[in-house]
Amino acid sequence: MTTPTATLLISCPDQQGLVAKFANFIYANGGNIIHADQHTDLAAGLFLTRLEWQLTGFNLPREFIAPAFNAIAQPLNAKWELHFSDTVPRIAIWVSKQDHCLFDLIWRHRAKEFTAEIPLIISNHLQLQEVAEQFGIDYHHIPINKDHKLEQEAKQLELLHQYKIDVVVLAKYMQILSADFIAKFPQVINIHHSFLPAFVGANPYHKAFERGVKIIGATAHYVTSDLDAGPIIEQDVVRVSHRDEVEDLIRKGKDLERVVLARAVRSHLQNRVLVYGNRTVVFE
Amino acid sequence: MTTPTATLLISCPDQQGLVAKFANFIYANGGNIIHADQHTDLAAGLFLTRLEWQLTGFNLPREFIAPAFNAIAQPLNAKWELHFSDTVPRIAIWVSKQDHCLFDLIWRHRAKEFTAEIPLIISNHLQLQEVAEQFGIDYHHIPINKDHKLEQEAKQLELLHQYKIDVVVLAKYMQILSADFIAKFPQVINIHHSFLPAFVGANPYHKAFERGVKIIGATAHYVTSDLDAGPIIEQDVVRVSHRDEVEDLIRKGKDLERVVLARAVRSHLQNRVLVYGNRTVVFE
Amino acid sequence: MTTPTATLLISCPDQQGLVAKFANFIYANGGNIIHADQHTDLAAGLFLTRLEWQLTGFNLPREFIAPAFNAIAQPLNAKWELHFSDTVPRIAIWVSKQDHCLFDLIWRHRAKEFTAEIPLIISNHLQLQEVAEQFGIDYHHIPINKDHKLEQEAKQLELLHQYKIDVVVLAKYMQILSADFIAKFPQVINIHHSFLPAFVGANPYHKAFERGVKIIGATAHYVTSDLDAGPIIEQDVVRVSHRDEVEDLIRKGKDLERVVLARAVRSHLQNRVLVYGNRTVVFE
Amino acid sequence: MTTPTATLLISCPDQQGLVAKFANFIYANGGNIIHADQHTDLAAGLFLTRLEWQLTGFNLPREFIAPAFNAIAQPLNAKWELHFSDTVPRIAIWVSKQDHCLFDLIWRHRAKEFTAEIPLIISNHLQLQEVAEQFGIDYHHIPINKDHKLEQEAKQLELLHQYKIDVVVLAKYMQILSADFIAKFPQVINIHHSFLPAFVGANPYHKAFERGVKIIGATAHYVTSDLDAGPIIEQDVVRVSHRDEVEDLIRKGKDLERVVLARAVRSHLQNRVLVYGNRTVVFE
Q: DSSP labels for D52-121?
A: EEESTT--S-HHHHHHHHHHHHGGGT-EEEEEETTS--EEEEEESS--HHHHHHHHHHHTTSS--EEEEE
Q: What is the mean pLDDT of chain D?
A: 95
Q: CB C16 to CB A36 under 8 A?
A: no
Q: How far apart are the C-alpha atoms of B6 and C140, rounded to whole Å?
A: 46
Listing DSSP states for A88-147 in one string gives --EEEEEESS--HHHHHHHHHHHTTSS--EEEEEEESSSTTHHHHHHTT-EEEE----GG
Quote the ipTM score: 0.94
* Per-residue pLDDT tens over the stretch D126-184: 999 999 998 999 999 999 988 899 999 999 999 999 999 999 999 999 999 999 999 99
Q: Which amino acid makes up residue D209?
A: F
Which residues of C are less than 8 Å from D241 in CB distance?
Answer: 282
Q: Residue C142's pLDDT is what? A: 97
Q: What are the sequence ranges of the domains in chain A? A: 5-84, 90-282
Q: Looking at residue C14, what is its pLDDT?
A: 94
For residue D141, give how far its alpha carbon lies from the nearest alpha carbon of chain B (Å): 44
Strand partners, D52: D7, D35
Q: What is the pLDDT of residues A53-112, one digit of tens each?
A: 999 999 999 999 999 999 999 999 999 999 999 999 999 999 999 999 999 999 999 999
Q: Look at B103 and C99 and tell me if their CB atoms are within 8 Å.
A: no
Instruction: Report chain C residues whose CB lies below 8 A from the CB of B262.
Output: 255
Q: Give the closest-approach CA distance of D41 to chain A in angstroms.
A: 23
pLDDT at B146: 84
pLDDT (0 to 100) of residue D43: 85
Inter-chain CB proximity D278 and C241 less than 8 Å: no
Partner-chain contact C242 D199, CB within 8 Å? no
Q: Please tell me the distance in Å from D69's CA to the nearest CA on chain C.
A: 26
Mean pLDDT of B98-114: 95
Query: Are the beta carbons of C212 and D278 separated by less than 8 Å?
Result: yes
Q: Which residues of B are catalytic?
A: 228
- Residue B115: the pLDDT is 93
Instruction: Tell whether the model's pLDDT for residue C231 goes beyond 70.
Output: yes
Mean confidence (pLDDT) of chain B: 95
Q: Using an 8 Å CB-CB cutoff, list chain C residues near A31.
A: 16
Q: Which residues of D touch A (CB under 8 A)?
A: 99-100, 103, 107, 111, 113, 134, 241, 243, 251, 254-255, 259, 262, 284
Same fold, C5-84 and C90-282: no
D20 with B31: Cβ contact below 8 A? no
Please tell me which residue in D147, D226, D228, D248 is annotated as part of the active site.
D228
- The beta-strand segments (E) located in chain C are 5-13, 32-41, 46-54, 79-84, 90-95, 117-123, 138-141, 167-170, 188-192, 215-222, 232-239, 273-276, 279-282
Residues D86-105: what's their mean pLDDT?
Answer: 97
The CATH fold of domain A5-84: Alpha-Beta Plaits (3.30.70)
Measured in angstroms, the CA of D195 and the nearest CA of chain C are apart by 8
pLDDT score, position A43 = 86
Query: Confidence class of residue D47 from pLDDT cuts 50, 70 and 90?
Result: very high
Asked if pLDDT for residue B204 goes beyond 90, the answer is yes
Residue among A213, A236, A279 with most chain B CBs within 10 A, to mutate = A213
For residue A46, give the chain C residue with the closest CA.
C34
pLDDT at A275 over 90: yes
C106-130 pLDDT tens trace:
999 999 999 999 999 999 999 999 9
Torsions phi, psi for C158 (to 5 deg): -60, -45
A-to-B residue pairs, Cβ atoms closer than 8 angstroms:
81
Nearest to B20 among D18, D20, D239 (CB): D20
Amino acid D270: pLDDT: 97
Judged against a pLDDT cut of 80, whether residue C2 lies above it is answered with no
A37: chain C residues, CB-CB within 8 Å: 37-38
- Hey, which residues of C are catalytic here? 228
pLDDT digits (tens, 9 = 90+) for B136-155: 999 999 999 888 999 999 99
- Subunits with 3+ Cβ pairs within 8 Å of B are A, C, D
**Closest Cα partner for B45 from B77, B75, B19, B13?**
B13
User: pLDDT category, D215, cuts 50, 70, 90?
Assistant: very high
Does the beta-carbon distance from C39 to D237 stay under 8 Å?
A: no
- Compute the distance between CA of residue B226 and CA of residue C261 in angstroms, rounded to an integer: 38
Contacts by A255-258 with C-beta closer than 8 Å and gap 24+? A255/D259, A255/D262, A256/A193, A256/A216, A256/A217, A256/A218, A257/A100, A257/A101, A257/A172, A257/A191, A257/A193, A257/A218, A258/A100, A258/A101, A258/A104
Banded model confidence at residue D201, pLDDT cuts 50, 70, 90: very high
Task: Mark yes or no for CB contact B24/D20 under 8 Å.
Answer: yes
- Select from B259, B265, B270 the residue whose CB has the most chain C CBs within 10 Å, as the one to mutate to test that interface: B259
Cβ B120 vs Cβ B137: under 8 Å: yes
What integer pLDDT is reported at residue D101 of this predicted model?
97
Contacts of A249 in chain B (CB under 8 A): none
Note whether C111 contacts B134, CB cutoff 8 Å. no
Average pLDDT for chain A: 95
Confidence class for position A2, pLDDT limits 50, 70, 90: low
| Pairs across B and D, CB distance < 8 A | 49
**C64-111: per-residue pLDDT in tens?**
999 999 999 999 999 999 999 999 999 999 999 999 999 999 999 999
For residue B235, give Cα distances in angstroms to C67, C166, C223: 52, 38, 35
Measured between beta carbons, the chain B residues lying within 8 angstroms of D28 are: 20
Chain-chain contact of A16 with C24 (C-beta, under 8 angstroms): no
Q: Architecture of A90-282 per CATH? A: 3-Layer(aba) Sandwich (3.40)
